Amino acid sequence: AAGRLPSLASQFLRRQQVLQLYRKILRAIREVPAEQDRRYLKDWAREEFKRNKDATEEDAIRMMITQGNMQLQELQRALKLAKS
């Protein structure tokens, strides 16, 4: 049933996933040593999430969550390298 509006439960779960991802990204950004970089990344994350907040297409949302997780992992990797 493509194009069918997702059930309220799956919308709720998706929202939880998005919020969780957002919090993880902000938490990772706090580890960035340079304040200027932190501010830039925080603004970027806020804009990115705000720009997509009205998305309703399940597949698109799933893809954005996947991309967000990949970017988070990339950031965490970079932070780990910077510390070593």
Give the mean model confidence (pLDDT) for residues 40-56: 93
DSSP output for 30-66 = TT-S-HHHHHHHHHHHHHHHHHTTT---HHHHHHHHH
Give the mean model confidence (pLDDT) for residues 8-22: 89
DSSP type of residue 1: -
Regarding predicted confidence, which is higher, 69 or 58?
69
